[in-house]
Amino acid sequence: MSVTNKYIKRSRISEAKFREFVKCFALDLDAYKIALLTGLNRNTVNRYLLLIRKRIAEYCEHASPFQGEVEVDESYFGAKRIKGKRGRGAYGKTPVFGILQRGGMVYTEIVPDCAKQTLQGIIRGKVDLESVIHSDAWRGYNGLVDLGYQKHYRVHHGNNEFANGKRHINGIESFWSYAKRRLMKFHGIPEKTFYLHLKECEFRFNYRNQNIYKLVLEMLRNNPLS
């Protein structure tokens, strides 16, 4: 039997109980602790966590184009490096490309590779041509000027150059560090849900100075779970 709940269509739990659940989610508690604190069944908790993460991913995908001072970088998540395997990143890891607007938000996208065509295709779709782009020296960023990005500055990590005035990618590297620390607590994430966890990291990072609890409730009022 369903009860009235403006956050969930045909809900079997009350609004008060669901708000309690969202408060626990906002505190970034795991499913076990949420079930313990709310008294909800573990399967119910996992189901609503999955649905909320899907809503968050949809929300993140609608980010506005980036402009101003922008940092781009790629990172690798997942399996440990295998000895003897060389090349960009590590064998068995999942490559993720990121764009960060200084003083603004970050956007992430799982990519099949970090080739020039892949990375620059995303940059063209997400970064305004008038932007100032900062990157490392990876060859995937060669030729951005030819695409119309007249201001592209690079940090050469191979020369131990990690910051040179405004020429750095400390912002996006800070996000990578945050995301990897946060994901470690799950002790391994299935490939099929990695995207949703990545987007949750993006969301929490972007709105770290705001009330996550209120943001999620507002999101679900506008687009209830089903």
pLDDT of 108 > 60? The answer is yes
What is the pLDDT at residue 86?
Answer: 47
CB distance 212 to 69 below 8 Å:
no
Q: Which of 173, 172, 198, 199 is nearest to 78 (CA)?
A: 198
What is the pLDDT at residue 90?
Answer: 57
- 102 class by beta-carbon count within 10 Å (0-12 exposed, 13-18 middle, 19+ buried): middle
Tens digits of residue pLDDT in 179-192: 999 999 887 888 89
The whole model's pTM is what?
A: 0.88
Q: Which two tokens stand for residue 44?
A: 């119910």
HSE, CB side, 13 Å, CA atoms: give it for residue 133: 27
Tens digits of residue pLDDT in 174-222: 999 999 999 998 878 888 999 999 999 999 999 999 999 999 999 999 9
Instruction: Compare 161 and 225 and report the one with higher pLDDT.
Output: 225
Alpha helices in 41-153 (DSSP H): 42-61, 116-126
CB distance 96 to 107 below 8 Å:
no
Query: How many CB atoms neighbour CB 53 within 10 A?
Result: 19
The residue type at 188: G
DSSP string, 115-142: -HHHHHHHHHHHB-TTPEEEEES-GGGT
What is the pLDDT at residue 188?
Answer: 81
- Please give the average per-residue pLDDT across 18-33, as a whole number: 96
What is the pLDDT at residue 205?
Answer: 97
Q: Which of 112, 156, 111, 164 is nearest to 138 (CA)?
A: 156
Tens digits of residue pLDDT in 51-64: 999 999 999 988 77
What is the pLDDT at residue 157?
Answer: 62
pLDDT of 79 > 90? The answer is no
- Please give the average per-residue pLDDT across 69-90, as a whole number: 72
The one-character DSSP state at 10 is T
- 213 class by beta-carbon count within 10 Å (0-12 exposed, 13-18 middle, 19+ buried): middle
